[in-house]
Chain A
Amino acid sequence: MDKTYYDPADLKKFGNIADFEPDLAKKFFDYYGDVFKEGGLTAREKSLIALAVSHAIQCPYCIDAYTSDTLEKGVTEKQMMEAVHVAAAIRGGASLVHGVQMMNKAKKLSM
């Protein structure tokens, strides 16, 4: 057992989650595959969304995977960073918008 939580090599072993529970893993990976197929959104657009979400949830595996995937799909580095800023804006905004709740409560409590 390693003494670190994250090992880049573990990303390649993602499929191994089926070893402990194959049926649910199959459902998940089938679903995952379908999600990323070209549909109303292009595969490129979906990959960029995945890159932004990877940063929002701060998943190192996902960041590695979707950095490669967006590069492969011809996304520019500027576009990739803009996607990360979208994640940052939503995260920042999510904190700040709660400021309204704080204000409401503060006003209610205060004379």
Chain B
Amino acid sequence: MSKSLLAQHHDLADKTTQVKILSNGIFGEGKLPTFKKKLEPIGEFPLKPDTIEIFQVNVGYMCNQVCKHCHVDAGPDRKEIMTRETMEYCLEVLRKTDIHTLDLTGGAPEMNPDFRWFVEEANKAGVKEIIVRSNLTIILANPKYHDLPEFFKENNVRVVSSLPFYQPDKTDRQRGEGVFDKSIKALKMLNAIGYGRPDSGLILDLVYNPSGAFLPGDQAELERDFKKELKNNFDIEFNSLFTITNIPISRFLEFLIRTENYEDYMEKLVSAFNPAAVKGVMCRNTISIDYDGYMYDCDFNQMLDMKVEKSAGQHIKDFDLEKLSKRNIAINQHCFGCTAGAGSSCQGAVA
């Protein structure tokens, strides 16, 4: 298993280096228009939020996998982890606001020692929906995780799982050797207790992201292919497929630059800019929180250390719905990933 960029002391582990690459080069030279330049003529700059509906909490960057495209640069060597104290601040916000969804991500969120406690407390806090973004293999990684499907079921957790393809080859090249087979086993465990089965009320969604420097195809068509192939070959069922565009930051940015795909990929994103997708970008209804309690407009901005505006209050301790609703959303050229074609978000296509 390879190491994170951080453990490799790679230049691109430095967030300011990534922001510089996205700000300069083809965009600095004017070869391609910046994201701001594309928002201005359609009256969307500065980008403003709508009502906050989703609280996306990144409970730590530790993961049992080291995926090649990971925007978090997650892996077993990442030690950043959210404490119970920070979770308490998050719960406090959930208790006193109408935010309906708690979206747990990582790393592998299940590896946080307080993960289960957090889920149970969030249910007590009255949140309507809890999502866990699971990499699936964690369920099989250690006996202590084998009962996760039951835990999810007991706590009415919606499971959103990454599966970049319905065959082993592309999946394993992106996520690591043997990941496909383990993912299939985990999906069978989830199906066995009702997840993804019709009328069970237990939601199991899959996330598709392209296994390289190209855009995702049509979400409905890919969902149709995934459903057919997974049903026929493995008797696996799921609810929806979300297509997510690879965002040019962190490990995927490193891949793009190393393979000389960066300029072509950015050009592809820019030329596929869709104003209709701007209406549905997830930063409008989501707040992302890092392991330390700092707030961001999305998980990608979190990984670039682009916090919400200072005037909005940057830490969960200072959470103020009023101030946050007035903020300008922080943007850079990676945002083109969410507005290309049918758009992209943690809930899939948006346009």
A residues contacting B by CB (< 8 A) are: 12, 42-44, 68, 71-74, 76-77
Contacts and interface: CB of A to CB of B under 8 A. Distances in A.
Contacts of A71: 210, 212, 214
B30 to A, nearest CB: 17
A87 B73 CA distance: 42
A76 B170 contact: yes
A58 to B, nearest CB: 22
Query: What secondary structure prevails in chain A residues at the interface with B?
Result: helix
Contacts of B210: 71-72
Contacts of A42: 221
Chain B interface: which size bin?
A: 10 to 19
Contacts, number: 31
A104 to B, nearest CB: 47
B238 to A, nearest CB: 16
A42 B218 CA distance: 12
Given A12-B267, A12-B271, A44-B225, 19 more contacts: A43-B218, A43-B221, A44-B217, A44-B221, A68-B214, A71-B210, A71-B212, A72-B214, A72-B215, A72-B216, A72-B217, A73-B217, A74-B221, A74-B222, A74-B225, A76-B167, A76-B169, A76-B170, A77-B169
A4 to B, nearest CB: 19
A74 B215 contact: no
B165 interface: yes
A44 B225 CA distance: 10
B170 A73 contact: no
Contacts of A12: 267, 271
Interface of B: 165, 167, 169-170, 208, 210, 212, 214-218, 221-222, 225, 267, 271
Contacts of B218: 43, 73
Nearest to B215: A72
7 contacts: A44-B217, A68-B214, A71-B212, A72-B215, A72-B216, A76-B167, A77-B169
Interface centre among B167, B216, B217 (most CB of A within 10 A): B217
Contacts of B167: 76
Contacts of A68: 214
A72 B243 CA distance: 11
Question: What 8 A-B pairs are tightest by C-beta distance, nearest first?
Answer: A73-B217, A72-B217, A71-B214, A72-B214, A68-B214, A74-B222, A72-B215, A74-B225
A12 B217 CA distance: 19
Contacts of A72: 210, 214-217
A79 B271 CA distance: 28
A83 B268 CA distance: 25
Nearest to B226: A74
Contacts of A76: 167, 169-170
B217 A74 contact: yes
A71 B246 CA distance: 14
Contacts of B271: 12
Contacts of A43: 218, 221
Nearest to A67: B214
Nearest to B211: A71
A68 B265 CA distance: 11
B219 to A, nearest CB: 11
A44 B228 CA distance: 15
A73 B216 CA distance: 7
